[in-house]
């Protein structure tokens, strides 16, 4: 496993024994302007490819921007606040999901499955010594129009991918938020048998 340039062990603590990769994945905004080799980049999408999906439909798709021209197109629909940091990342990716069901109508799990694919990508990024940050702050209709996304695909997030950089490169606003976030206690997430029942 590549050596990480950041350590979250003082910020995050698991209540139960889990692989540290889950704690080491966090959404930093500080990117190093350093290219990612094709082999390493493809390993992230290879991991994303093996996510589970209903009926193995694999509804996720990714539009990847690596060149300055491609990233410039993405910049047209990304929010101003996000542009201040995400354009330093060497790779941007737009994650979509194919919405139709083969039986007709809408595949009710298309977004759920796309989320699973993104999580596999994010964990492989950690394993490869990279960071990834998914953003909802962008204009979806502009993205659809500019990138030629068909109507039967939903657009979910823009993902910045790269190596971890110096947090001091961030604006004051983003610098204040540049730390791994915590999580609520499990007892607030789990219910026993029915909604609201305490899980002991």
For residue range 151-181, list pLDDT tens digits in order: 999 999 999 999 987 666 766 666 666 566 6
Query: Which residues lie across from 78 on neighbouring strands?
Result: 138
Q: Which residue has the higher pLDDT, 17 or 149?
A: 149
pLDDT of residue 96: 98
The answer, yes or no, to whether residue 43 has pLDDT greater than 80, is yes
Mean pLDDT of the chain: 90
Residue 129 and residue 150: Cα distance in Å, rounded?
34
Q: What are phi and psi of 150, to 5 degrees?
A: -65, 160
Measure the CA–CA gap between 33 and 3, rounded to whole angstroms: 18
| pTM assigned to the model | 0.89
Task: Report pLDDT digits (tens) over 73-101.
Answer: 999 999 999 998 889 999 999 999 999 99
Pairing of strands 153-164, 131-135: antiparallel
């Amino acid at each position: 496993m590549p050596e990480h340039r950041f350590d979250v062990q003082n910020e995050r603590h698991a209540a139960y024994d889990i692989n540290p990769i889950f704690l080491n994945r966090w959404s930093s905004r500080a990117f190093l302007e350093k290219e990612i080799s094709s082999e390493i980049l493809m390993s992230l999408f290879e991991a994303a490819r093996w996510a589970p999906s209903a009926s193995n439909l694999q509804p996720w798709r990714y539009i990847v921007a690596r060149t300055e021209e491609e990233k410039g197109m993405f910049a047209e629909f990304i929010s101003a606040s996000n542009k201040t940091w995400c354009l330093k990342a060497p790779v941007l990716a737009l994650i979509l999901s194919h919405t139709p069901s083969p039986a007709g109508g809408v595949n009710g799990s298309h977004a759920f499955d796309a989320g699973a694919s993104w999580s596999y990508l994010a964990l492989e990024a950690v394993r490869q010594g990279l960071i990834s940050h998914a953003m909802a702050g962008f204009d979806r209709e502009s993205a659809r129009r500019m990138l030629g996304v068909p109507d039967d695909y939903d657009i979910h997030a823009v993902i910045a991918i790269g190596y971890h950089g110096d947090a001091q490169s961030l604006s004051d606003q983003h610098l204040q938020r540049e730390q791994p976030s915590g999580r609520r206690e499990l007892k607030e997430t789990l219910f026993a048998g029915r909604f609201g029942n305490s899980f002991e």
